Chain A
Amino acid sequence: MTLALEQVLNGLQFGVMIFLLAAGLTLVFGIMRVINLAHGSIYMLGAYVAAASEARGLPFAAAVVAGALGAALAGLVVEVVVIRRLYGRDHLDQVLATFALILIANDGVSIVWGKTPLLMSTPPALGGSLALGPLTYPSYRLVLIGAGIAVAVGLYLIVQRTRLGMLMRAGATDREILGALGADVARISTTVFVLGALLAGLAGALLGPILAVQIGMGEQILILTFVAIVLGGLGSIRGAFVGALLVGLVDTLGRAYLPSVFHAVAGPDVADSLGNGLAAVAIYVLMAIVLIWKPRGLFPVGSG
């Protein structure tokens, strides 16, 4: 029972981190209709900047802020130089252009910081484990869950309570409406893109202590992020949150339990390859099922 609870917490933590990436991606798509494959590269940049800042003696919290800000700055540059020219273009052009950005980012990082993975340490105060009743859980992972939920609440308030949020919601439903409302569409687009980059950078910086800060780390998580926002329904923050949690939980619990489920019903060899194989594709199976059942995700927004 304790073990099951721990696995659920693990899934929750993974999901919350995916949400930090998914939020930006879904907003950018919802409002600007841009497929941004380079979102994972911005996440990688956040991790690199944070790790490099920490190596230069910045305290952990400051390094995380530096990572998020560095990513936001990169987001600003990318938006102004590239993404702005892609609004209204074919999705395919967006795929190609942002794929080119991935190549540039990966190689650029290896030129600046070398090919060896960087070190980012956990602050000593958060290095241990906390006792939650019968369960001991790594403190740092609790911090991650807390940070993720705080961001989710903050985003919810921005989207529901502010003028920018009102415009974002309007834009996600119908882009034309923004101009009609007299809003400066270009500025809103830039703001949203930079906000998304900031969150991605924050995720990268926060995950630095538990992951290898290395080239290509963005692509690994990019696909999971796309799965999350597609599951939830594009353009919806709520959808991204639910989608991200689903991805986190299904992926973690799949790996935790599928192999033993198969062990119960089949021989060890079959169970190993089937159980582990199925665990690896569990989220894809989930996405396929959801999309066959609800072709526009769980929380469809506007005209899609």
Chain B
Amino acid sequence: MVSTPRRRIVLALTLLALVAVLPLSALAGQPFWVNAATRIVIYAIAALGLDLILGYGGMVSFGHAAYFALGGYTVAILAANGVDAALISWPAAILVAAAFAAAVGALSLRTSGIFFIMITLAFAQMIYYATIAVKAFGGADGMSLAARSVVPGIDLRDPRVLYAVTLVMLFGALALAGVLIDSRFGVALRACRGNERRVRALGFSVFRTKLAAFAIAGAIAGLAGALWAEYARFVSPDMGSWTRSGEFLIVAILGGTGTLAGAIFGSTVLLELESLLAGVTEHWMIALGAILLVVVLFAKRGLYGWLAGSSDG
């Protein structure tokens, strides 16, 4: 994550704005802002993980929603069986998602380009149809969580607390990804896109480097899915649908790939535009489509690139 001063300022202001949601919503008497912001941050976490493999490793995963769904279902299934300690269910969600991502990655990384896009989609579709078909997990109707999980010392039932926790997770994921990118592993990951000899010179194997990054991205999506289950108190197969995978891709691309923090912008803009336009007109899709089209045709480096300027990061 090569940083220019301007990038750092934009990033700092963005994070500040996210924190400011809490006092601002209280001042304005608009508790709903906290809910809307929670959703945005959860999407940002998932897309941030995706950007790690997409923007740095050049791996276009079209099945990222599967890990999101696995994370959510892990929490919901554990909760249904009486495990309501977040300190158990969240790590479990991360592990399950990471393990599945590692398996998918191991099978998929032999391919590249559009073949990789399609094979990741294929595995995600298998998860999607599994969640629909299994009656024990609610099938197409999904599963409700009777209550949010318990974390000692804090009350997740309060939406503001949940938002704060989600925000901490976002900062954590951002920091972790930043450290990874700047490390020797990150250099190798970036080199995987073109210069495989350089990867080996750094003492890494191309396959293992990509696989590790893929599993980490899956783990982060699993965390996002777990947070989603807590936020919505509900999980359903559409969490893992291919359109959801597409949404995550769009969030990452819209914000600007290879920027990590761009995911925050992408998710803010996509989700807010959706809800704003849907509130105004029933034909919100055509407006959203037109806006997306203009952005992609004219803002070539994504929103974050447009705001923070190019640094060839």
Contacts and interface: CB of A to CB of B under 8 A. Distances in A.
A–B contact, 8 Å CB criterion (strictly below)? yes
Interface of A: 29, 35, 82, 85, 89, 91-93, 95-97, 99-104, 106-108, 110-111, 219, 223, 226-227, 230, 234, 273, 276-277, 280-281, 284-285, 287-288, 291-292, 295-297, 304
Contacts of A277: 129-130, 133
Contact of B118 (A93, A227, A273, A281): A227
A273 B132 CA distance: 10
Given A106-B285, A280-B133, 12 more contacts: A92-B253, A95-B249, A97-B293, A103-B289, A104-B285, A107-B283, A107-B284, A223-B242, A230-B115, A234-B114, A288-B123, A304-B113
B126 interface: yes
Given A292-B107, A296-B115, A103 B126 contact: no
9 contacts: A91-B113, A97-B292, A97-B297, A100-B293, A110-B283, A284-B121, A285-B122, A287-B119, A292-B110
A227 B242 CA distance: 14
State the main secondary structure of chain B at its contact with A: helix
A254 to B, nearest CB: 12
B126 to A, nearest CB: 5
B297 A288 contact: no
B282 to A, nearest CB: 9
Contact of B292 (A103, A107, A273, A292): A103
A292 B106 CA distance: 10
Nearest to A233: B115
B296 to A, nearest CB: 5
B259 to A, nearest CB: 13
B292 A100 contact: yes
Interface in B255-313: 257, 283-286, 288-290, 292-293, 296-297, 300
B289 A104 contact: yes
Given A104-B290, A111-B286, A273-B133, A295 B112 contact: yes
B47 interface: no
B279 to A, nearest CB: 16
A284 B296 contact: no
B286 to A, nearest CB: 4
Contacts of B40: none
A106 B283 CA distance: 10
Residue of A35, A91, A106, A295 most packed against chain B (CB within 10 A): A295
B125 A284 contact: yes
B118 A226 contact: yes
B54 interface: yes
Nearest to B104: A288
A230 B118 contact: yes
A281 B60 CA distance: 22
Contact of B289 (A100, A273, A287, A297): A100
Nearest to B247: A99
B181 interface: no
Contact of A91 (B114, B129, B283, B296): B114
A95 B114 CA distance: 11
A296 B293 contact: no
B178 interface: no
A107 B289 contact: yes
A102 B126 contact: no
